[in-house]
Chain A
Amino acid sequence: MASLSSAGEPVDGESLTVEQAIINLESADLGLRFYAAWWLGKFRVREEAAVVGLIRALEDEADRTPEGGYPLRRNAARALGKLGDRLAVPALIKSLGCSDFYVREAAAQSLEMLGDPVCLPALNKLLAVSLQSEKLVPQPDFSQPYDAILEALGTLRATESIPLVQPFLEHPIERVQYAAARAMYQLTQEPVYGERLVQALAGNNLQLRRTALADLGAIGYLPAAEAITQTLAENSLKLIALKGLLEHQVNQTDPPVLSEATIKVMTLMDSLL
């Protein structure tokens, strides 16, 4: 299904057309390729030719950074998550083995978005680098995009991965700890993990408080509503987090009813507008 109409028409006044963007993915000009991959993701061009072209871009060898990174592959991996076509799953799983950290990170995030549990063994395998008999190895490992991997496992409800996820609550990088808490909450529904993120809202580092806000919004942890409202951070980020709580709550009832909890969350949101 195409989310955009006629392939020959410019989209949103941009200079590219869908047709041209797909052609540009194979252009001799590396800049055009890089932009086309981003553009197809940005405008969510769900056409088979786009998906196939982006999958092919995951194998690109031409576009390299001086450090050996693969910029086109990164953009292609990101775009494939946004396009929402599971045709890309096997190629993204393969990209989890790419030598470029950022390609692996983008692949994990896109596999999370595509929601196909077939990727779980490959994600588990990446966590194993850091683990020895279900504990973190003594010398901390930073070689994998652990936060993206953990978040994917939580979203994909990978309950069999709990023993692999849990040790990361102790990882030296706080962002990784939060990702582990977020995943553990999604996998167990135990409040202790939500509370770990609530604590993080009171931390000293603004960037980490922002991360915790996003995590709480993603898991929709209702008891965090007041603490989110009080967090020293931008109101826009607090509102997005509270939106997560509100929608999580509304989605639990069908048809949606206005519970006391939803009214409370909206009253807090009103106070931040």
Chain B
Amino acid sequence: MITAAQKLIRAVEEADSSDRLLDAVQQLAAAGFDESIPTLIAALNYNNPGAAVAAVDGLVQIGEAAVQPLLELIDNYNYGARAWAIRALAGIGDVRALNTLLDAAKTDFSLSVRRAAARGLGTLRWHQLKPDQVQSAQAQALEALLLVCQDPEWIVRYAAVTGLEGLAIAQPTFVPKILAQLEQIVNTDTDLAVCTRVRMAQQQLQNLTNN
């Protein structure tokens, strides 16, 4: 007798069209079984954007149990799958991904990877760290994000702004420094979308400091 999870996994493995694959991955992802992790991770590699979106959602849903397998595989991925894997790690927000996200945001050659990593640096669950480690880990994230604000790609800078916003909310002592950086971006960045996102972040942080 096969279990419900095995049945859903088999449906993914046996899918013979991109529509069937999408359906099968969506169902497997929605079921949220830990044993589906390897199959969902494999689906990041299928060059099927719909299936990858569903697999990321599923992995984020599963959460902590997916972190280690994702971290182990990340160097072996092609850049498309690496971006999805980083998205999954960012969505889960587990602090074990910190070093991977720092490296990816600063040095990956693929802009989708840098984008996802910059976003993720703002949404980590810092409380998972021991209290005496939090500040230095957050300082690393801040340093990386300040650097990523100079990225040549608008979307990576946009993502860095969301990262800074998240980090400022998590660590109020960073607020003055982050507000100063945001002000500098508005005054120097030529991309309208980036500057508009900065205004939104400034508004958020001002509301925060007024309350």
Distance of B50 from chain A, by nearest CB (Å) = 4
**Which residues on the A side are within 8 Å of B197 (C-beta)?**
266, 269
Residues of B18-39 whose CB lies within 8 A of A: 22
**Which residues on the A side are within 8 Å of B196 (C-beta)?**
246-247, 250, 256, 258, 262, 266
Tell me whether A247 and B192 are in contact (CB under 8 A): yes
**Which residues on the B side are within 8 Å of A266 (C-beta)?**
196-197, 200
**Which residues on the B side are within 8 Å of A232 (C-beta)?**
22, 49-50, 53
Interface-facing stretch out of B125-133, B137-145, B154-162, B168-176: B154-162
Q: Mark B187-209, 1 if CB is under 8 A from A, else 0.
A: 00000110011011001000000
Q: How far is the CA of A129 from the CA of B112 in the complex (A)?
A: 43
Tell me whether B193 and A243 are in contact (CB under 8 A): yes
A234 within 8 A of B: yes
Distance of A208 from chain B, by nearest CB (Å) = 14
18 A-B contact pairs sorted by A residue (CB < 8 Å): A206-B49, A232-B49, A232-B50, A233-B49, A235-B112, A246-B192, A247-B192, A250-B196, A251-B192, A256-B196, A256-B199, A262-B196, A266-B196, A266-B200, A269-B158, A273-B87, A273-B115, A273-B118
B: interface residue count bin: 20 to 34
Q: How far is the CA of A235 from the CA of B53 in the complex (A)?
A: 9
**Which residues on the A side are within 8 Å of B50 (C-beta)?**
232
A51 within 8 A of B: no
Q: How far is the CA of A251 from the CA of B111 in the complex (A)?
A: 27
Q: How far is the CA of A243 from the CA of B53 in the complex (A)?
A: 20
Q: How far is the CA of A223 from the CA of B102 in the complex (A)?
A: 36
* CB < 8 Å A-B pair total: 52
Q: How far is the CA of A258 from the CA of B115 in the complex (A)?
A: 23
A: interface residue count bin: 20 to 34
| The residue from A239, A240, A258 contacting B203, defined by CB atoms under 8 A apart | A258
Distance of A270 from chain B, by nearest CB (Å) = 5
Distance of A163 from chain B, by nearest CB (Å) = 35
Q: How far is the CA of A270 from the CA of B159 in the complex (A)?
A: 8
Q: Which residue of chain A has its CB nearest to the CB of B18?
A: A206
**Which residues on the A side are within 8 Å of B112 (C-beta)?**
235-236
A49 within 8 A of B: no
Tell me whether A250 and B192 are in contact (CB under 8 A): yes
Distance of A44 from chain B, by nearest CB (Å) = 14
B82 within 8 A of A: no
**Which residues on the B side are within 8 Å of A246 (C-beta)?**
192-193, 196
**Which residues on the A side are within 8 Å of B59 (C-beta)?**
none
Distance of A257 from chain B, by nearest CB (Å) = 9
Residues of B93-122 whose CB lies within 8 A of A: 111-112, 115-116, 118-119
Q: How far is the CA of A150 from the CA of B56 in the complex (A)?
A: 39
**Which residues on the B side are within 8 Å of A240 (C-beta)?**
155
Q: How far is the CA of A33 from the CA of B127 in the complex (A)?
A: 61
